[in-house]
Amino acid sequence: MLNTPTTPGIVAGRLPANILAENFSDLHPPLTAHEALVAADRCYFCYGAPCMEACPTTIDIPLFIRQIATGTPEAAARTIFSQNILGGMCARVCPTETLCEEVCVREVAEGKPVLIGQLQRYATDRLMAAGGHPFARATETGKSVAVVGAGPAGLSCAHRLAMKGHNVTIYDGRAKAGGLNEYGIAAYKSVDGFAQSEVEWLLSIGGITVETGKRLGDGLSLSGLKSGFDAAFLAIGLGGVNALSMDGVNAVDMIADLRQSADRTDLAVGRNVVVIGGGMTAVDAAVQSKLLGADNVTMAYRRDKAAMAASEFEQDLATSRGVRILYNAAPKLVDDGAITLARTETRDGKLLETGEVVELPADQVLWAIGQTLEGAPDGVAVEGGKIVVGDGGRTSVDGVWAGGDCAQGGDDLTVTAVAEGRDAAEDIHAKLA
């Protein structure tokens, strides 16, 4: 584990296993059948529904909610999966509060949206638990496609291609498929091994082979993929991590370790934890540090609250769990169990230090200040730290597509990656047909 004790304040098993299990229970327990019917009844089934427009995968939300309301949740799930094959995970981790639910007519009028995310989980869980797969493969085309990266974009692309009758091989450098769904999501958002269950369910359509322990530059080359397959899709994510020249642990690795731990008693956590950053990863690291038993957890973000990447919901979640959020505080020095932060302010659009400093006790510092593209394949155009893509995810190299966090485009969200993988698959299929 990465969080090996380096000071006396950092220990594993600070809390007993039963308390840890309770702390990391489901953030949003699933709706019962009655609760789902009550929630669905609040939907106006709007024509030209704004919720559908706000969904990156354009799920027909009014339709699937109506299907739940009429007692056919399995049909609702098929409606969801036709647009988003990872609809089960997206129902758990998608920031619905800033997407579909934010524009819900009920939210606008009453300040209380229809529970779209929880209704989506209700429907998808029902169908997945029933077994089987809602889609069948078309007649085999004899074409083969390589997908590099088994995260949301790669899995979405692979599934859609397999459904079209193509044979797909997915390569991933980690020991398990799933990408950020397996290694990067807070444990309380995806419990009971759901990420792996979803992968296995997705693969059950057939026509997809997964090879782990292989990544570009380490056993794979783009030229080899081009010569061995009819097309290639790059979904390599952002493997590099921004860092500062100070002591600290990468929060991404901390979260990955936590997700792979059996009971979390082997994870070391400090008494005074400081997380540097203002995004979703920072919130996940901070909340989970508190749940692991840290006495004091502070998130330090260099800009003001309005500039914070984490949503209002995520910020409220952090504070409700006892995390202190310190805005306008930039790290300056980590030394001898403490961190020094410089107070900042924005003047004329520029972030400046005010001259005031704050010192906090910190026996553990976690960095969550963004990730970068790592190992972009030769010949593929990169701009602004991401792979340049055109219509359908086409890269500058003929026969190579890209999508997900590694590619230019939408927000770095699971649901956006799913949409990009699906759309690239459609473009690849059109090219191969």
Cα(58)–Cα(403) distance, integer angstroms: 17
Cα(399)–Cα(431) distance, integer angstroms: 9
In this structure, what CATH number is given to the domain that contains residue 272?
3.50.50.60
Higher pLDDT, 375 or 168: 168
Cα(419)–Cα(425) distance, integer angstroms: 10
Q: In terms of domains, do 262 and 313 share one?
A: yes
6 located within any domain? no
Q: In terms of domains, do 233 and 379 share one?
A: yes
- Closest by Cα among 241, 136, 168 to 401: 168
Cα(291)–Cα(269) distance, integer angstroms: 10
pLDDT in tens, 231-242: 999 999 998 777
Q: Would the pLDDT of 141 be above 90?
A: yes
Q: In terms of domains, do 180 and 245 share one?
A: no
Q: In terms of domains, do 301 and 404 share one?
A: no
With residue 419 as reference, give the H or E element that holds it: helix 414-432
Average pLDDT over residues 294-302: 97
Q: In terms of domains, do 395 and 360 share one?
A: no
Tokens of 241: 């991590």
Phi, psi torsion values for 16, nearest 5 degrees? -70, 160
Which parts of 194-275 fold into alpha helices (H)? 194-203, 222-228, 251-260
**Confidence bin at 336 (pLDDT 50/70/90):** confident
Average pLDDT over residues 356-382: 91
Q: Which domain holds residue 259?
A: 11-20+241-367
135 located within any domain? no
Q: In terms of domains, do 223 and 269 share one?
A: no
Q: What is the mean pLDDT of the chain?
A: 94
Tokens of 71: 């007692």
320 located within any domain? yes
Cα(246)–Cα(249) distance, integer angstroms: 10
Tokens of 172: 């991933």
Average pLDDT over residues 102-122: 96
4 located within any domain? no
34 located within any domain? no
pTM value is: 0.94
Over pLDDT 70: what percentage of the chain?
A: 97
Confirm if 185 and 93 have CB atoms less than 8 A apart: yes
Domain boundary among 321, 346, 367: 367
Average pLDDT over residues 275-287: 96
Q: In terms of domains, do 223 and 335 share one?
A: no
Total structural domains within the chain: 3
In 3-state terms, what secondary structure has residue 153? helix
CA dist 372 → 150, 154, 219, 377 (Å): 18, 18, 21, 14
